[in-house]
Amino acid sequence: MPAFFYRAYFGVHSVRSYNRNILGGIGIDPVSSSLIGNNENSEGHRKRWPERMHAHGKDGD
């Protein structure tokens, strides 16, 4: 499912619930989340996502 659709239609309720109930319960806050969707596209599209996630982690996003 595309990430924008999940964000708009479902309101990222599972991400918020996980952040609040699990991570918040053990004192981890603030938390940023990256939603990845539609990874069934072309091979080039799938290969770009790990590179982007690596860059986010490296930059501290």
State how far the Cα of 31 lies from the Cα of 23, in Å rounded to an integer. Answer: 8
Q: What is the pLDDT of residues 20-60, one digit of tens each?
A: 999 999 999 888 887 877 767 677 777 787 888 888 888 87
Q: Read off the pLDDT band of 4 (50, 70, 90).
A: confident
Residues 29, 9 contacting (CB under 8 angstroms): no
SS3 of 25, please? Answer: helix
State how far the Cα of 18 lies from the Cα of 29, in Å rounded to an integer. Answer: 12
Please give the pLDDT value at position 61: 62
Domain boundaries, the chain: 3-59
* Residue tagged 């619930």 (tokens): 17
| Of residues 58, 4, 59, the one with CA closest to residue 36 | 4
